[in-house]
Structure 1
C-alpha cells in the first residue's frame, strides 16, 4: 500500500479523532520528515497562556505517526506500527502556533531488513516542537515498532 503526502493527513484525521479535535495541520509528510502545526486555540491553552502539554504531546506523537506511515506504509499488509515508549522534555514556554518536525532515527532499509528477518524492529522518531520565533519548546522521542501480523 502506498500512501501519498496528502492522504496521510486525511487518513489520520479520519481515523484519529484527536487530530480533528485539535485541528492539526499536516504541512509536510515524507519518509524523511513530517511537519505538523497546532494552531493557537484558547480552549487548549494552559495556565501560562500557551498550548497545554497534552495538546503539544498529541502534536508531536501525531508527527511521529505521520512519518512512520510515510516511511513504512508499504509494510502495512504484514505489520502494524505501534508506539512503544515516549519521552518528553519541555525546554521553553510555548506561545501561539507551534510546529512539530519529526525525523526517523534509523534508516528505513535497516528497519525493513529486521522485519524481513522475522524480528519486531524498534526505531526512534525524534520530534522538535518550535514556536513562531524558531525556539525549540519541546523535544519528544517516540520509539515505534512494526509488529508483524500473525
Structure 2
C-alpha cells in the first residue's frame, strides 16, 4: 500500500465529496479518515427529519454507507485500477431513538492483507465494514454492516 498521510486523507475526502452528490445534499462531513477507519457526521437539519423530529432512516443509512465507502478509498485505493468495489449486502439495526447530529464510525472487518491476497489469487474477496451510529453525546442508536466485494476487472 502506498503511504497514507494527511495530504492523502484530504485528497480522498475532497474527491469523495466532489463525486457523490447526495453526500453533499445531506451536508455530510468527514471528521476522521485513515486506512480501515472513517468517522463522518450528519448535521441535524429539519429538512432531513422523520415523523418524530429525528434524522430520517434514509439519511442515517446514507451516513453509514458513506463512511463505509470512504474506507474502501482509504484502504484499497491502490487496488482500484484492477478491481471495482461494490456493496453486496447491508443490514441496519435501530436500537434507540436518534436526535440531533449523528456520527458514524466505520471500521474494516478484515485485514487488508487478507483481502488483497484473495484478489491477487484471482478471487473476488468479500469483507464487512461495521458502522456504529451514535448521537453527539455518544449514545449508540444503531449499527450498520455493509458487505463489500472487490470485483476483479478482467479487461485486458
Structure 2: stretches of 5+ with no match in the other structure:
none
Within the alignment, does 1:105 sit opposite 2:104 as a pair? no
TM-score (norm 2): 0.93
Shift of residue 32, structure 1, vs aligned partner: 2.6
Moved over 3 A (4+): none
Cα RMSD (Å) of the superposition? 1.2
Within the alignment, does 1:8 sit opposite 2:12 as a pair? yes
Structure-2 residue corresponding to 1:121: 125
Within the alignment, does 1:141 sit opposite 2:145 as a pair? yes
Provide the aligned length of Structure 1 versus Structure 2: 150
TM-score (norm 1): 0.97
Q: Distance in 1 between matches of 2:77 and 2:12?
A: 9
Within the alignment, does 1:42 sit opposite 2:36 as a pair? no
Structure-2 residue corresponding to 1:87: 91
Structure 1: stretches of 5+ with no match in the other structure:
none
Matches within 5 A, 1:17-36: 17-36=21-40
Q: 2:75 aligns with which of 66, 71, 77?
A: 71
Shift of residue 54, structure 1, vs aligned partner: 0.0
